[in-house]
Amino acid sequence: MFATAIGPPKRPVIRGLRYPVETMLELMASGMTHSEILADYEDLDEQDLLACLLFAAQLTKVKHISRLVA
């Protein structure tokens, strides 16, 4: 699903392809269909887009975020 993060601040990306999850979510929210997105990003597949949606859904379950100090 999400292999790495780029940053700073570190952002989740799809399978290490360096496509930010945020970008894909914005494209879907703008009304682009999965077919349109996949036509523009040929190295992605339907499972990648579904993983982005799942990631966003899981974020809504987070109750509290704390910054860790080293």
Domain limits, the chain: 5-59
In this prediction, residue 68 carries a pLDDT of 75
- Average pLDDT, consecutive stretches of 10 residues, N- to C-terminus, the chain (70 residues): 57 90 97 98 96 93 78
- Phi, psi for residue 11 in degrees, rounded to 5: -125, 140
In this prediction, residue 10 carries a pLDDT of 79
User: Which residue, chain included where needed, has tokens 């799809």?
Assistant: 14
**What's the whole-model pTM score?**
0.78
Q: Does domain 5-59 have CATH number 2.40.128.720?
A: no
In this prediction, residue 66 carries a pLDDT of 78
In this prediction, residue 14 carries a pLDDT of 93
Distance CA 47, CA 26 (A): 17
